[in-house]
């Protein structure tokens, strides 16, 4: 919503309230939600899904949560941490929002999280997956409402890869936190099961030309390649992987966003058969998920993406939590407590979702494959699942927190 429209809306509401009888003037204050999403930049496609589906949820509920009106202030974080920080500052200090929701890339999320550490503003991150925000560097007002930590989905993936008989894997990943952590999660469990990571490549965000890497990958002598690319980089990598003749020669495993709807829906046969791991699969047979996907198709003509699903679930979560704070305004601690004590009952996943003690949800993780659905569209279908996966996998909590967070230098690779 445009700022100008926001003002008009509020002004109109205010005028109406003044003109109306005293009873109406006692209406509770609106909830102002600052939505940060990348509407431009490398993950613009995902950002659009975020805003679209978040707004959709509130529209379905008449833009209300109980008796209170919900106002959304949307800002573009440009897929850039500097911009995200500036917009966050604007939303908190100038627009006085009650909470911030969103951001996509981990580096934007980290920048904003560092900022809200100082202001105490509740910051809900359904998509920003930097592990440490709910582990070693826990910030009390940052909660992964309907979100996930980066290595949460790849811990089981590494175990699965080892089970498939893969002995050697090479990884190619975007050179930032989410990449380190998705790769690290896979590397740790894969090598613990006896596999080897023969090579790791790190490309900058917004890599247009993967040819230098593809040459090396083709000659790496591996059983599978794990590609951790989001947004436009995923599109380009998948296209170039196929045009360099690697598709069908070396199995391609992808990160959770690699085969997201926002990437695959406009692509051709080059996406078929790519395997990834995530908590959401739009092709899941679960009736609740199917109902959600069908409603999405009816409304937007497209299958839901992971980004949209996460934001939709976050909106649902906030909606289920808000009645607990009633008419209270400007009490971030109360809002946080309400959200953290809520179990998401109506999740499109079809089961109740709870947060662990560190503010991160626990999910069933699907290993999914890209296939064509009956309507001829590409979608991710589960081929295996791991129930009840937390951000700590099967590790002893204290043990896990002692190991450093995944980075370029630490990938959890088991010492032989």
> What residue ranges bind other proteins (CB under 8 A)?
2-4, 39-42, 44-45, 47-48, 76, 80-83, 85, 89-90, 93-94, 106-107, 110-111, 114-115, 174-177, 202, 204-206, 208-209, 211-216, 218-219, 231-232, 235-236, 239-240, 243-246, 408-409
Q: Is 409 exposed, middle or buried (0-12, 13-18, 19+ CB in 10 A)?
A: exposed
Tokens 């908590």 identify what position?
279
Q: How far is the CB of 96 from other proteins (least distance, A)?
A: 9
Q: How far is the CB of 337 from other proteins (least distance, A)?
A: 26
Q: How far is the CB of 215 from other proteins (least distance, A)?
A: 3
Nearest CB to other proteins, comparing residues 222 and 316: 222
Q: How far is the CB of 106 from other proteins (least distance, A)?
A: 8
Contact 48, 305 (CB under 8 A): no
The CA distance from 249 to 119, in Å, is: 52
DSSP 126: S
Nearest CB to other proteins, comparing residues 130 and 367: 130
Nearest CB to other proteins, comparing residues 230 and 391: 230
Nearest CB to other proteins, comparing residues 232 and 306: 232
Q: How far is the CB of 128 from other proteins (least distance, A)?
A: 12
Q: How far is the CB of 385 from other proteins (least distance, A)?
A: 31
The CA distance from 146 to 134, in Å, is: 13
Q: In what order do the strands lie in the sheet with 123-124?
A: 64-65, 68-76, 31-37, 99-102, 123-124, 142-143
DSSP 408: S
Contact 311, 144 (CB under 8 A): no
- Phi, psi dihedral angles at 360 (to 5 degrees): -125, 135
Nearest CB to other proteins, comparing residues 99 and 112: 112
Nearest CB to other proteins, comparing residues 53 and 319: 53
């Amino acid at each position: 919503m445009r700022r100008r429209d926001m003002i008009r809306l509020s002004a109109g509401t205010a005028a109406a309230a003044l003109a109306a009888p005293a009873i109406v003037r006692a209406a509770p204050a609106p909830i102002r939600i600052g939505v940060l999403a990348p509407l431009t930049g490398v993950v613009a496609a995902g950002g659009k899904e975020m805003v679209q589906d978040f707004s959709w949820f509130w529209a379905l509920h008449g833009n209300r949560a109980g008796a209170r009106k919900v106002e959304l202030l949307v800002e573009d974080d440009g897929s850039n941490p500097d911009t995200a920080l500036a917009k966050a500052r604007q939303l908190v200090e100038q627009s006085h929002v009650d909470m911030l929701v969103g951001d996509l890339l981990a580096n934007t999320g980290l920048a904003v999280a560092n900022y809200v550490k100082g202001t105490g503003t509740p910051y809900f991150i359904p998509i920003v997956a930097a592990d440490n925000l709910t582990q070693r560097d826990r910030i009390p007002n940052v909660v992964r409402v309907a979100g996930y930590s980066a290595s949460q989905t790849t811990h089981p993936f590494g175990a699965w890869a080892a089970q498939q008989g893969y002995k050697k894997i090479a990884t190619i990943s975007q050179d930032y936190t989410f990449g380190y952590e998705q790769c690290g999660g896979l590397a740790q469990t894969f090598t613990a099961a006896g596999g080897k990571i023969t090579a790791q490549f790190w490309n900058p965000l917004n890599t247009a030309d993967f040819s230098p890497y593809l040459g090396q990958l083709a000659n790496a002598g591996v059983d599978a390649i794990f590609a951790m690319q989001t947004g436009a980089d995923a599109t380009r990598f998948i296209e170039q992987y196929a045009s360099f003749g690697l598709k069908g020669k070396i199995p391609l495993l992808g990160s959770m966003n690699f085969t997201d709807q926002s990437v695959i829906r406009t692509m051709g046969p080059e996406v078929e058969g790519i395997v990834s791991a995530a908590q959401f699969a739009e092709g899941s047979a679960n009736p609740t998920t199917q109902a959600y996907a069908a409603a999405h198709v009816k409304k937007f003509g497209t299958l839901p993406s992971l980004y949209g699903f996460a934001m939709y679930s976050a909106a649902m979560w906030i909606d289920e939590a808000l009645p607990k704070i009633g008419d209270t305004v400007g009490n971030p601690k109360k809002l946080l407590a309400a959200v953290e004590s809520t179990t998401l009952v109506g999740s499109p996943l079809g089961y109740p979702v709870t947060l662990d003690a560190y503010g991160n949800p626990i999910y069933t993780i699907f290993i999914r494959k890209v296939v064509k659905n009956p309507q001829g569209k590409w979608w991710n279908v589960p081929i295996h699942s791991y129930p009840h996966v937390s951000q700590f996998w099967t590790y002893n909590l204290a043990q896990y927190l002692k190991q450093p967070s995944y980075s370029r230098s630490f990938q959890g690779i088991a010492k032989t």
